[in-house]
Amino acid sequence: MDSEILKIHEAYRKGSLNCSGLIASRIGELEKSNHNSVNYMLSDLAMEMAAEADDRIKSGKELRPLEGIPFGIKDVYMLQGTSSSGSSGILKNYKAPYTATAIVKLLDAGAIPVARENCDCFGHGSSNENSYFGPARNALDKNLVPGGSSGGSAVNVARGFTTFSIGGDTGGSIRQPSGYNKVYGLKPTYGRISRFGLMAYASSTDCVGPISRSLEDIRLLINIMSGKDSRDQTTFKSDAIPDEIFRNDPDLKKIRIGYYRNFIESDNLDENIRNDFIRLIGILKEQGNAVEELEFYDDTILVSAYYVLAMAETASNLARLDGSVYGERVAGESIRDQYALTRSENLTEETRKRIVGGNQVLAHGYAEDIYQKARYLRKMITDSFNRDFRNVGIILSPVTPNTPPLLGSSLKNPMVMYLSDAYTVGFSLGGLPALTAPLGTDTGVQITAEKNGEERILKFAKYLKEIL
Amino acid sequence: MPLELLSNIRGAGPSPDVGKLFDIIKDALPGNDSADQEVISGDICVHLESLRDDEVIESSSVEKEIIKENFPERKNDYLVVSRVIEEV
């Protein structure tokens, strides 16, 4: 049995583990940790919920799907009554008035939130160094970045502090830190899980997704969180993914696999990752899978198109942070002064840079020359995916061009940080589901399918795990 | 309008790193043809007929209390807003 959730449930049923003991132990580990992966502990709430779960277990009632399972929440989700900062200074004292739809579903299934996790401020970063709370540290080597923006979430899962964590992925923010910390992380199809209650970064690519050490748990979590929500009108109804998908299926050898030749030939790709990826493709061919080389856009074009669109959207989304009705306020002579002082003093340098860049591309003169071109490129990228998925069932790629950098080095060279998203942003622009599996290369492999193809991705990941 | 005013951020100006990203886009599509292209994708848009009707949802008392608690400044039970100076 691969599922950690089901293992915990078995122990609860046998009486060899009680929920209060498990939650207390996870809280203790988080408090002792020096990975700086947490912004706010939720200890009181978690212990109260654990006592209720123990009562339920003792009474012999049927366990809910996530009964008594400790989880972490990236600090960009609303959870009523808890501090919800988005890892920013401007919202450091802000309390969420309501709870995000995805989190409500997890709570209704019995899961217990233990911590609000460190991340890049409003998702603006790929190293978790752009945080009001300071950088989180990689789970495997504290001198390295954990990746971002969902860095704290990936670290907590990798260290075993949480059984799963809920990250957010706009251009790779679940997949890249999952790769850097060697865990599974899924960005679902855009619209499969409601974004209601997620602090918006770039609304047209923002996705809610799980990070876990177990593939089976990713399936359970996706099933629980998915569904149409009237409060996010981009959501759609999807079918539950059955557990039988993990049984041996000889047809997996018949899946035609594609990979982007230019990704593998890119000068930006680390030599070891390149060699490991080529080896992985060789193993699949030996298994009988047909493999096709595909052509795609240059990685710098993908990164640029993504950042232009994401900055334009974040400039609009974060215009609300002006100190008027919530958040820190710096008073000025006039309301315009208040806006400028509040934002100048309370937003981080990277966040200010993205807001200014966003307003720049939306301004007269730039909109036609840059923003519209980026939108057009997005359409061409989507058309390219549609063509590719007529020929192949799965597209594989490295998750990242390089292994995690040393803490501090990304801040010195932001272009290198932007390029660390080179292999993830394209799939975000296409709204496709993509999974990081900690297999094949040092930062894992990214498995992508057409829209709503999560079932095929999970099946294929299990197959890869078995043959590697 | 200057970027400083558009962004409500003092001293805001173009960033060289972001400028590099813009140059890559310009070079990727050198002509202006794409500016007039239809780029709205059905994949990321919600069709008008799919939109739900407007609905007023009453906030719970807990939610109302937290919203007031979040207000940046209070004095004698009043929520204090910044002074508005009308500019001609």
pLDDT tens, B41-64?
555 677 888 888 888 989 999 999
Looking at the domain assignment, is residue B88 inside a domain? Answer: no
Looking at the domain assignment, is residue B16 inside a domain? Answer: yes
Give CA–CA dist A447/A125, Å, rounded. 23
> Do A203 and A283 lie in a common domain?
no
Inter-chain contact A363–B17, Cβ cutoff 8 Å? no
Looking at the domain assignment, is residue B28 inside a domain? Answer: yes
| A417 interaction partners in chain B (CB closer than 8 Å) | none
Looking at the domain assignment, is residue B39 inside a domain? Answer: yes
Neighbours of A422 (CB within 10 A): 25
Give CA–CA dist A112/A47, Å, rounded. 9
> Do A179 and A30 lie in a common domain?
yes
Looking at the domain assignment, is residue A354 inside a domain? Answer: no
As a three-state string, the secondary structure of A95-161 is ECCCCCHHHHHHHHCCCEEEEEECCCHHHCCCCCCCCCCCCCCCCCCCCECCCCCCHHHHHHHHHCC
Least CB-CB distance to B82: which of A233, A331, A370? A331
B20 interface with A at CB cutoff 8 Å = yes
> Do A267 and A225 lie in a common domain?
no
Contact yes or no for A194/A168 (Cβ under 8 A) = no
Residue B33: predicted pLDDT = 61
Give CA–CA dist A77/A352, Å, rounded. 21
Looking at the domain assignment, is residue A306 inside a domain? Answer: no
> How does DSSP classify residue A331?
-
> Do A162 and A288 lie in a common domain?
no
**Domain containing residue B72:** 3-79
Looking at the domain assignment, is residue B32 inside a domain? Answer: yes
Contact yes or no for A156/A177 (Cβ under 8 A) = no
> Do A142 and A220 lie in a common domain?
yes
Q: How does residue B79 score in pLDDT terms, banded at 50, 70 and 90?
A: confident
SS3 A18: coil
Looking at the domain assignment, is residue A449 inside a domain? Answer: yes
What is the distance in angstroms between the Cα of A173 and the nearest Cα belonging to chain B?
Answer: 19
Give CA–CA dist A130/A117, Å, rounded. 14
Inter-chain contact A343–B7, Cβ cutoff 8 Å? yes
| A298 interaction partners in chain B (CB closer than 8 Å) | 28
For B66, nearest residue in chain A (alpha carbons): A97
Give CA–CA dist B69/A95, Å, rounded. 8
Q: Rounded to 10 degrees, what is the CA torsion of A273, A277, A282, A283?
A: 100
Inter-chain contact A431–B44, Cβ cutoff 8 Å? yes
| Res B77 pLDDT > 70 | yes
Looking at the domain assignment, is residue A387 inside a domain? Answer: yes
Looking at the domain assignment, is residue B87 inside a domain? Answer: no
> Do A165 and A288 lie in a common domain?
no
Give CA–CA dist A33/A28, Å, rounded. 9
Active site residue A74: yes
> Do A198 and A259 lie in a common domain?
no
Instruction: For residue A19, give the CATH number of its domain.
Output: 3.90.1300.10
Looking at the domain assignment, is residue A424 inside a domain? Answer: yes
Domain end position, chosen among A244, A264, A281:
A244
**Domain containing residue A121:** 4-244
Q: Which helix (H) or strand (E) holds A180?
A: helix A175-181
What is the distance in angstroms between the Cα of A318 and the nearest Cα belonging to chain B?
Answer: 10
> Do A147 and A266 lie in a common domain?
no
> How does DSSP classify residue A90?
T
What is the distance in angstroms between the Cα of A458 and the nearest Cα belonging to chain B?
Answer: 23
> Do A236 and A381 lie in a common domain?
no
Residue A105: predicted pLDDT = 98
Residue A143: predicted pLDDT = 98
Inter-chain contact B7–A352, Cβ cutoff 8 Å? yes
Task: Provide the domain count of chain A.
Answer: 2
Give CA–CA dist A128/A446, Å, rounded. 21
Active site residue A149: yes
> Do A258 and A169 lie in a common domain?
no
Q: How does residue B1 score in pLDDT terms, banded at 50, 70 and 90?
A: confident
> Do A190 and A150 lie in a common domain?
yes
What is the distance in angstroms between the Cα of B6 and the nearest Cα belonging to chain A?
Answer: 7
One pLDDT digit (tens) per residue for chain A, 468 residues? 689 999 999 999 999 999 999 999 999 999 999 999 999 999 999 999 999 999 999 999 999 999 999 999 999 999 999 999 999 999 999 999 999 999 999 999 999 999 999 999 999 999 999 999 999 999 999 999 999 999 999 999 999 999 999 999 999 999 999 999 999 999 999 999 999 999 999 999 999 999 999 999 999 999 999 999 999 999 999 999 999 999 989 899 999 999 999 999 999 999 999 999 999 999 999 999 999 999 999 999 999 999 999 999 999 999 999 999 999 999 888 888 999 999 999 999 999 999 999 999 999 888 888 999 999 999 999 999 999 999 999 999 999 999 999 999 988 888 888 999 999 999 999 999 999 999 999 999 999 999 999 999 999 999 999 999
Looking at the domain assignment, is residue B49 inside a domain? Answer: yes
Task: Provide the domain count of chain B.
Answer: 1
Inter-chain contact A379–B41, Cβ cutoff 8 Å? yes
> Do A121 and A148 lie in a common domain?
yes
Inter-chain contact A97–B66, Cβ cutoff 8 Å? yes
Domain end position, chosen among A244, A261, A287:
A244
- Biggest CA–CA distance in chain A, Å, is 72
